Amino acid sequence: MITGIFIITFLYLAMNLLYIYLMPVGEMANANLVASEMMQILYGGNGKRILEALVIIFSIGCLNAMIITGGRITYAMAKDNAIFSYIGKINTRYSTPYLAIIINAVWSVVLIILGTFNKLLFFTGIAVWLFFALAVGGLFILRYKFPNIERPYKVWGYPLMPIIFILICIALFINTMVFYTFQSFIGLCLVISGIPVYIISQKRSKKYPLT
């Protein structure tokens, strides 16, 4: 995994250096798809079309993983929540959480209709950086609450590495808020709307516990 991360980081940095070498920064800022524009500079229209076709093919694999995991995350939530327990139904033939998959599919279609790729990216990006920071911040809480629990794997460079990661997430969070304020605001409102739902569901779960 560590080797793979270094290879991906190297390739990412190398591609960005190539972008900067081939395209002026101003032109890059106005490009919808920088990699596609770069391939057109190098190989003409055919190069651009080949890259776009590869992106579509690779996206299919990503979508497959998202459908499998996304539906089961929703299913797991439903199993622990009295309000949404009906979503946890399993298809008797295929043993899949079909209602959870359908709900995710409908929500995905709604998002696609409402905005472009860039709008959706920053609409969800603000929540991604927020929850990344919160998840890693949980390490400090767990270490404090359960100091003697057995830990088969410990975070390398603790506590410095988690702190650096959280600071980077905060910086990206602020950057997204500043440059994409409207999309970020909508994304935050969607996240905050889950708080009353959580409170109500917790009260209902105590009143009508799952069996």
- What confidence score (pLDDT) does residue 137 get? 93
The two counts, helices (H) then strands (E), for the chain are: 8, 0
Q: Which residues fall within 8 angstroms of residue 139, CB to CB, at 6 or more apart?
A: 155, 158, 162
- What confidence score (pLDDT) does residue 150 get? 83
Q: Token pair of 25, please?
A: 């920064």
Query: Are the C-beta atoms of 175 and 135 separated by less than 8 Å?
Result: no
Regions in the chain scoring below 70 on pLDDT: 82, 118, 205-211
Tens of pLDDT, residue by residue over 1-42, are 889 999 999 999 998 888 888 888 777 777 777 888 888 888
Intra-chain end-to-end CA distance of the chain, in Å: 40
Cis peptide before 159 (omega within 30 of 0): yes
- What confidence score (pLDDT) does residue 207 get? 65
Note the pTM of the prediction, 2 decimals: 0.64
d(CA 109, CA 201): 26
